[in-house]
Structure 1
Amino acid sequence: MSFVALGDSLTEGVGDPVGDGAWRGWAALLADGLAEEPVAFTNLAVSGSQTQDVLERQLPAGLALKPDLVSVVIGVNDTLRCTFDIQAVAARLDQVYAAFTEQGAVLLTACLPDPGTMLGLPGALAHPLARRQRAVNTVVHALSDRYGAVHLHAREGDWITDRALWSADRLHPGERGHRQLALRFHALLEEHGLATGPAPSPEPEFPAPTRSASLWWLATAGTGWVARRCTDLLPQLLTLAADEVRHRARGTSARLDLRASAAVSAALAALSVAEQPDAA
């Protein structure tokens, strides 16, 4: 059996260090429990990746490996860019999902919590990001259903609010969090008869970072990580926050939600229209 993982820093394993600057993460933990015999596992995920990176760089490499199982967990970095376009995100994910399923791979997907909530941002800043992540999650839900993916609802649950499961930056799980993700994916695959090996242990292999070590990481590498992904977003986010405050003062916040829902509906409708000639 072969397993290929595509995505960003979450799948790369950021937050689950194994020494010498290397990361392990949920996908590697899951790979160990997919079968009784060793699984050929390749992690193509790269920190900072967006859906365009997955489509243009990771997809060709993944298809060349002809995996039996492929995970595609991506989208958070798209929401942190001023260029965010849900129609473009939907079109890219559709191409990635289609390419792997046409090759015969089982597709593994997940919806994710929004970064504004995880970072504990004030409401006016958090709500626009939450709206974007809901849009991405809605698209992932719809396309996962279309392509028969094994889908994990990771945007909710106790694991989000349990600080013991998260690293200092609040955006990446720590080792315990990565193990929880691996366990939940394993349970889903086991239900579908696709995982026959032992489930990953929920207990950490390494001691948790000390508070001082976590704060040092956040003040150096962690802060830099957030800054690099949000630099071009900040001016737009402030504009979105001002718009949020204005609508809240007028009691018209629902219009923002309706506008976002309409954009998602249009993005999915565009995919359906694009597929019609092939179906005829």
Structure 2
Amino acid sequence: MKALRFAALGDSLTEGIGDPVDGGWRGWAALLADGLAPTGAPVEFRNFAVSGAQTADVRGRQMPRALGFSPDVVSVVVGVNDTLRRTFDIHAVAAHLDAVYGAFAERGTIVLTACLPDPGAMLGLPGALARPLARRQRAVNDVVHALSARHGAVHLHAAEDDWVADRAMWSADRLHPGERGHWLFAARFHAVLAASGTARGPAPDTEPQRPAPTRSAGFWWLATAGTGWVARRCTDLLPQLVALAADEVRHGLRGTGARLDLRASAGVTAALSALSSPGTAEVVPRAAS
């Protein structure tokens, strides 16, 4: 019997950060893999995701390796790290994702995508700092929505559901799902795939094996490993984020905050429109199947 092949592309979420097992990471993609084929049928799973990856990394490094694997199903969940860089460019994000989705879709591979919550809200940043990051993440999600439809991908809406506000679903770092969150993410993807007949195995069990992290565990993470994480992000993003926050405050005082949202929306529209412009043959979208 031929094995069903499942490849997972993306960043730390797909790598499995927050769901430690046997000295390594498991994560939602590995949990989903077990339920894609009927019980007893073989599934070959490869996880190409790397912590810290951006859309350019998925396109340039992960995609070629995954194409060589010739998967039947591929997940592409990425974009949060793009929003945390001073080099954030929604045009580049759109071009990279369009190229990745299209490369697999044109081979007949089932493509899985998801929109995600913004990191500023998860970290509990003050409003003026959180809103620019939220606006960036909404832009990425809008692009993911549009391109998922364009390429006929199976899309999971995971940005604003109840699970986002449920502290028990998240690890101590507040950025990655904990064991509960990874189980839920896998189960929700399985439900969507099962409805279309793609997933024919048992749904992942959402009952966790470990207790949810405590509030003190979150403080401990911030005081230890989290300090380095914040420092690395601050070096890259903080100067620009402070400037964005100042702009946010100015517009708030003038009552013109809606202009920032309109500017972001216009950027998404322009980024998507540019994909079919002359000179971008590499990322010309294919008609949705």
Write the distance in 2 (CA, Å) between the matches of 1:146 and 1:214.
Answer: 40
Displacement of 1:225: 2.7
Task: Determine the structure 2 residue equivalent to 1:248.
Answer: 252
Contact 1:81-1:230 within 8 A present in 2 as well: no
Match for residue 5 of structure 2? 2
Q: 1:198 to 1:274 in 2, by over 3 A?
A: farther
Aligned AA (2:188): R
Q: Distance in 2 between matches of 1:6 and 1:108?
A: 10
- Deviations along 1:160-185, one digit per CA (max 9) or x if unpaired, are 00001111111101000111100100
Q: 1:177 to 1:244 in 2, by over 3 A?
A: same
Provide the C-alpha distance between the structure 1 equivalents of 2:81 and 2:91, rounded to a whole number of angstroms.
Answer: 15
Q: How does 1:125-164 map to 2 (within 5 A)?
A: 125-164=129-168
Residue 156 of structure 1: how far off its partner (Å): 1.2
1:1-280 alignment, distance < 5 Å: 1-20=4-23, 22-36=24-38, 37-209=41-213, 212-274=216-278
CA separation of 1:210/1:237 partners in 2, compared to 1, >3 Å: closer, same or farther? closer
State the secondary structure of the residue aligned to 1:81. coil
C-alpha distance in 1 between matches for 2:32 and 2:259? 41
**How many corresponding residue pairs?**
278
SS state at 2:128 partner = helix
For 2:174 and 2:245, locate their aligned partners in 1 and report how far apart those are by CA, in whole Å.
21
Q: Matched residues in 1 for 2:273 and 2:66: separation? A: 28
Distance in 1 between the 2:7 and 2:182 partners?
17
1:2-52 residue CA offsets vs partner (Å, 9 max, x unmatched): 0000000000010111132x1111000100111122310000000000001
How far 1:123 sits from its partner (Å)? 0.6
Q: Distance in 2 between matches of 1:156 and 1:28?
A: 24
Shift of 1:103: 1.8
SS at the partner of 1:116?
A: helix
Q: TM-score, normalised by structure 1?
A: 0.95
CA distance, structure 1, for counterparts of residue 73 and residue 161 of structure 2: 25
CA deviations on 1:241-263 (whole Å, 9 max, x unpaired) are 00000000000001101110111
Kindly provide the amino acid, as one letter, of the partner of residue 94 in structure 2.
A
Distance 2:216 2:265 in 1: 43
Distance in 2 (alpha carbons) for counterparts of 1:106 and 1:51: 19
Compared with structure 1, are the counterparts of its residues 39 and 117 closer, same or farther at alpha carbon in structure 2 (3 Å cutoff)? same
The answer to whether the 8 Å contact 1:80/1:230 transfers is no
Q: Distance in 2 between matches of 1:98 and 1:134?
A: 22
Structure 2: which 5+ residue stretches go unaligned? Answer: none
Aligned CA distance change for structure 1 residues 230 and 27 (closer, same or farther; 3 Å): farther
Residues of 2 paired with 1:207 and 1:158: CA distance?
19
Distance in 2 between the 1:31 and 1:82 partners? 35
| TM-score normalized by the length of structure 2 | 0.92
Stretches of 4+ aligned residues off by more than 6 angstroms: 275-279
Q: CA RMSD in A?
A: 1.6
- Tell me if structure 2 keeps the 8 A contact 1:109–1:151: yes
* Contact 2:183–2:206 under 8 Å retained in 1: yes
